[in-house]
Each structure stands twice: as structure tokens, then as C-alpha cells.
Amino acid sequence: MLEVRPRLRTLEPDTGNRLYQTLLESTLAIPFKIDWASQKYSYIGPQIADLLGWSPESWETVNDWAERIHPDEREQTVSRCVELCLAGVDHEAEYRALTSDNRFVWVREVVHVLCDEQGQTTALIGFTFDITEQKKSEQLRAELEAQKLSNARLQERLRLTHDLHDGLGGELVHMIASVEQGSEALTRPQVLSMLKLIRNDLRQSIDNNASAQVRVPATPQEWLAPLRRRFNDLFEALGVRCDWQFPQSWSQPPNALQYLALTRLIEEALTNVIKHSQARHVRLSLLQPQAQELLLEIEDDGVGFDVQAVEASGLGVGMRSMAVRIARVGGLLGIESSPGRTALTARVVLGAED
């Protein structure tokens, strides 16, 4: 059941209710009453002199009130107040009020609408509170948030610039020098390797700058499930058996950059197995030998390759790209290969990069 409170009919000093008037005039807010028919103040507390510098006698009509609202808020504040008063709806308003010395202070006005038995508005009673300090605090918080956002955007730009300079930029310089200084024309596989390296470095830059929006999966199973479904379909079509081994939970999860780097590594390594290895069995193992260490192993029984020869020929840009990717997130990549066995091992110190 709604509680119905009797409405106060007057705040005028000559009502005889001296105790109530004393209480009103001892508050820090400005009490007021407006007669709706005449649009005049029938009472306004003496606190107006302390808050705004105006004498109660200078505050006669609603025009005095409206003219002392900041121009930027005047039209909206007045029209909204009139609309709600005509509807008999209690309301609040925040605006800047002019002081007698031509300053503006923020105030909040709380208005209670009095109506007659026919529902027609007869008077307004309420309080005006000084909220200048609150508004200053809100403005300071907004400025700090804007500064934080600006700093975050600047950091993103600097990080992107760093990634492009040290990653993609460095590789481009190296490739240009190789072409200019080389005595022989590049072969098609060499050109393709260079293009793949550029692609991989672009992926790295994109991953780094997207890491703030990335959510690390709650468990290793949640992380590897999409990759497992995707590659198992490919392996099954080729008649390749693939075993996936991983713990049920994290001792400590990787951060976003580490998660992205390891995901790219798995994708690249398994794609290479499909394209080049001719393997019949693949094993992917994810372990946490220690709480702050993650060990990823990918092994196949394919034809293998000569790691040193591939690196010396300039065709090992994919391996170099994977190693750089893991190194950037606090890890170390190792590759061993011989006929019948190729093993890729990535060891990452968790929390090494934030």
C-alpha cells in the first residue's frame, strides 16, 4: 500500500508555525514557495543571500528565477519545469545560477507540486541546494577519464609504431638489402617466404593492438577446442591421427599477448604439418611443469627437414617469424627435425609480458 503524506500548504512566515520556519531557515539549502496563479514567490529563505548573494526581496517573481539561470541551460530548464508543474509532477533540476557578483554556481532544485482537489496546480514548494563542489568533482573525474583514454590511445599508437618499426620495418629493410646485394634472381619459393613473413608480422602487430579486447579462455580445453575441431577435420580427411594432450585447468593462465602468440604458433605449425610433413601421426601437448611456465610441444612423424640448411638458404623465414613471436611474449622456441620426427617446443614464462 502506498503511503500518502499530507501536503504542506504554506511556508509563509506569518502562518504561526514558527518552529517549522526556524527549522527551514537553519538548513544549508534555500527553501521557497511559489504561488502558481500569480507566478510570484510567496516565501524564499534568507539562505539565498549566503548562496547567491541576492536578498530575498530581490527574488519576487519566476522571471527573477528564470533570468538568473545560465543562458546555456535556461530554455530547457524553464520549459521542462513548466511542463512538469502543469502535469502536477514533482521533479528536480540542475543548472548554473547567477550570483549577485556575476558568477555562476551549480545548484540542484527539488520541487514539490501542490494541487487542489481538481488536480490543478496551486503552488510549488521546494529547496535549492548548492552542488558546485560536486560538479567540480564530477568534472575532475571526467577530465581524468579523458586523460586516461588519451594516454591509452597514445600508448596504442606508440606500440603499433614500435611493432611496425622493429618487426615489419626491420624485415622489409632486410629483404630490400637481400634483393639489392644478391647476385642471383630470387626464386619463387624465396619470394613466397618473404611475403609470408610480412603477413606474419602484420598479424603480430594486429594481435598486439587487439590484446586489450581479448579474453583469455577460462581453461586450456576452452582455448584448444576450436583449434582441435578445425584441424581434426583436415587431418581426418588426410588420414592423419592427431592426439591432443592438455590439463583440465590453468595453474596460472597466460596473458592476452601470450595467448594470441601461442594460438598463432599452433595454427602455423599444424598448417606446416599438413602442407609439408607427409606425417601419419601428430601429437600436440600442452603442459605446465611449473605454475608460472607453459610448455607447448608439437611433434609429427613426417619426412623431416634439415633445420640448419633451411635457415641458411633464406627459406626459413617462417621459423624465424615464429621464434620472434614467442620471444616477444617472454618465451623460447626450439625446433628439431630429422627423418621420421619433427618436434617444435615453445616454453613461455607466464606473466613475463603484460
Q: What residue numbers bound the domain in which 116 lies?
A: 13-130
Q: In terms of domains, do 123 and 222 share one?
A: no
Q: Are 122 and 36 in contact (CB under 8 A)?
A: yes
- Which residues sit opposite 296 in a β-bridge? 286, 346
The Cα-based distances of 133 to 52, 97, 105, 106, 124 in angstroms read 15, 14, 9, 8, 27
Task: Calculate mean pLDDT across residues 69-84.
Answer: 94
Number of compact structural domains in the chain: 2
Q: Is 218 exposed, middle or buried (0-12, 13-18, 19+ CB in 10 A)?
A: exposed
Q: Which grid cell sits at 292?
A: 608460472
Region class of 88: left (phi > 0), else alpha (psi between -120 and 50), else beta: left
Q: Let me know if residue 168 belongs to a domain.
A: no
Q: Let me know if residue 253 belongs to a domain.
A: yes
> What pLDDT band is residue 14 in, cutting at 50, 70 and 90?
very low
94 pLDDT above the threshold of 90: yes
305 pLDDT above the threshold of 80: yes
At 110, which CATH number? 3.30.450.20
| pLDDT at position 2 | 35
Q: In terms of domains, do 113 and 224 share one?
A: no
Q: Among 98, 130, 162, where does a domain finish?
A: 130
Strands 104-115 and 331-338 come out as: unpaired
Q: Among 76, 100, 130, where does a domain finish?
A: 130
| pLDDT at position 160 | 62
> How large is the angle between the packed helices 220-238 and 256-272, nearest 10 degrees?
10
Q: What is the mean pLDDT of the chain?
A: 82
Q: Let me know if residue 305 belongs to a domain.
A: yes
Residues ≥6 apart with Cβ < 8 Å to 9: 114, 123
Q: Let me know if residue 246 belongs to a domain.
A: yes
At 304, which CATH number? 3.30.565.10
Task: Calculate mean pLDDT across residues 101-110.
Answer: 94
Q: In terms of domains, do 106 and 228 share one?
A: no
Comparing 3-7, 188-192, 275-279, 287-291, the range with the smallest average pLDDT is 3-7
| pLDDT at position 3 | 38
Q: In terms of domains, do 220 and 332 share one?
A: yes
> What pLDDT band is residue 151 in, cutting at 50, 70 and 90?
confident
| pLDDT at position 292 | 92
Taking the C-alpha atoms of residue 210 and residue 327, their distance in angstroms, rounded to an integer, is 19
| pLDDT at position 344 | 95
pLDDT digit string, tens, across residues 113-146: 999 888 899 999 999 999 999 999 988 988 888 8
End-to-end CA distance of the chain: 56
pLDDT digit string, tens, across residues 172-200: 655 666 666 666 776 776 666 667 656 66
Q: Let me know if residue 340 belongs to a domain.
A: yes
Instruction: Considering only residues 210 and 243, tell me which one the structure prediction assigns the higher pLDDT.
Output: 243
Q: In terms of domains, do 22 and 125 share one?
A: yes
| pLDDT at position 274 | 84
Q: Among 130, 151, 172, where does a domain finish?
A: 130
Q: In terms of domains, do 224 and 343 share one?
A: yes
Region class of 135: left (phi > 0), else alpha (psi between -120 and 50), else beta: alpha
Task: Calculate mean pLDDT across residues 257-286.
Answer: 89
Q: Let me know if residue 192 belongs to a domain.
A: no
Q: Let me know if residue 198 belongs to a domain.
A: no
Task: Calculate mean pLDDT across residues 148-159.
Answer: 69
Q: Which of 268, 266, 148 is nearest to 212 (CA)?
A: 148
Q: Let me know if residue 60 belongs to a domain.
A: yes
> What pLDDT band is residue 201 in, cutting at 50, 70 and 90?
low
